[in-house]
């Protein structure tokens, strides 16, 4: 059935030679969001986002993606509301993208890929003492997903794009001390939400996903800037950092809820 083809696809996927999905995993990510199968939940609250731009620390190329990391030692950059029981602290954001504009996102909507997807990773510091512990717990993380589509130039993203040449190689880092990631989140409040996992190792089933319905627009040059990053360290044979997205995972016994009708 579909399940075993997923396992096979995971097993063969170059980027995730490590455990495909958690053996016996029942809430793996990413998934296809079938719009007509999502269930409107009138009890879902609006998501409240309050980030302090001065909590921004640096950008680094970790060999999977480029991460913008934040000082998560206090509650200065948090999200609350939406499907969440507690407030969650911003830890980092990163992207997934393709070699060409036909694919690149991790989630799909009605089986349509976007050229890229932004993930803002938050952890439940109300209940857990550290990010590392929260990663292992069912309600430990909350990730906001934002689709990127080809269109107008994105001013806010450009400040990030201008810094990318400095982190071209794996394990390079550059200081980045003021950035407000809310400029990357659409003002439209509509989102889907479901219980899932990290899409990179350790693939733990600890993520409440909040996927924004509206994409942001970026231009071709900005997508190309992502594609000139490298998976490889300086001195190694160059491998362009592209197609750093995990294959779709089975929905299993899950319902995707929508905050909108
Ligand atoms: N695509 S995703 O699902 O939004 C996503 C995430 F949610 C993440 F949390 C991470 N993540 C991985 C680690 C290493 C930690 C190293 C110490 C043990 C815990 C993991 N830091 N953040 C991540 F890389 C990622 F891609
Ligand atoms: Zn991600």
Q: pLDDT 10s digit of each residue in the chain, 261 long? A: 555 667 666 665 555 544 444 667 999 999 999 999 999 999 999 999 999 999 999 999 999 999 999 999 999 999 999 999 999 999 999 999 999 999 999 999 999 999 999 999 999 999 999 999 999 999 999 999 999 999 999 999 999 999 999 999 999 999 999 999 999 999 999 999 999 999 999 999 999 999 999 999 999 999 999 999 999 999 999 999 999 999 999 999 999 999 999
Phi, psi of 195 (to 5 degrees): -90, 120
Nearest CA to ligand 1 atom 19: 132
CA 218 to chain centre: 17
ipTM above 0.90, yes or no: yes
Cα-to-centroid distance, 151 and ligand 2 (Å): 22
Would you tell me how many other CB atoms lie within 10 Å of the CB of residue 15? 13
Per the listing, tokens 């209940």 go with 127
Per the listing, tokens 């932004």 go with 118
Q: Which ligand is nearest to the CA of 94?
A: 2
List residues near ligand 1 (CB under 6 A).
94, 119, 121, 132, 135, 141, 143, 198-200, 202, 207
The residue whose CB lies within 8 Å of the most ligand 1 atoms, and thus the one to mutate among 121, 145, 247, is 121
- Output the 3-class SS for 62-73: CCCCEEEEECCC
Cα-to-centroid distance, 91 and ligand 1 (Å): 10
Which atom of ligand 1 is closest in space to residue 145's alpha carbon? 4
Cα-to-centroid distance, 96 and ligand 2 (Å): 6
197 with 207: CB under 8 angstroms?
yes
CA 121 to chain centre: 7
pLDDT tens digit string along 62-109? 999 999 999 999 999 999 999 999 999 999 999 999 999 999 999 999
Nearest CA to ligand 1 atom 18: 132
The rounded distance, in Å, linking the Cα atoms of 217 and 53 is: 22
Q: Which residues contact 42 (CB under 8 A, 6 or more apart)?
A: none
């Amino acid at each position: 059935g579909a399940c075993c083809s997923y396992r096979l696809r995971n097993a063969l996927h170059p980027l995730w030679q490590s455990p495909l999905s958690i053996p016996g995993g029942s809430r793996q990510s990413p998934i296809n969001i079938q719009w007509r199968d999502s269930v409107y939940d009138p009890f879902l609250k609006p998501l409240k986002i309050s980030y302090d731009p001065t909590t921004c620390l640096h950008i680094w190329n970790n060999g999977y993606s480029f991460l913008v990391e934040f000082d998560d030692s206090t509650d200065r950059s948090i999200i609350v509301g939406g499907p969440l029981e507690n407030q969650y602290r911003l830890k980092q954001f990163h992207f997934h993208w393709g070699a060409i504009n036909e694919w690149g996102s991790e989630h799909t909507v009605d089986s349509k890929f976007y050229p890229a997807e932004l993930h803002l990773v938050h952890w439940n510091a109300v209940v857990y003492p550290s990010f590392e512990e929260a990663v292992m717990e069912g309600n430990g993380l909350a990730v906001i997903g934002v689709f990127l589509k080809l269109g107008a130039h994105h001013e806010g993203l450009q400040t990030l794009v201008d810094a990318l040449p400095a982190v071209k190689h794996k394990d390079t880092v550059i200081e980045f001390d003021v950035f407000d990631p809310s400029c990357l989140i659409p003002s439209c409040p509509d989102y889907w939400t479901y219980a899932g996992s990290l899409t990179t190792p350790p693939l733990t089933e600890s993520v409440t996903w909040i996927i924004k319905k509206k994409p942001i627009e970026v231009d071709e040059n900005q997508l190309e800037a992502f594609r000139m990053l490298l998976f490889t360290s300086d001195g190694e044979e160059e491998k362009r950092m592209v197609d750093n997205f995990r294959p779709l995972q089975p929905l299993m016994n899950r319902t995707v809820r929508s905050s909108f009708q």
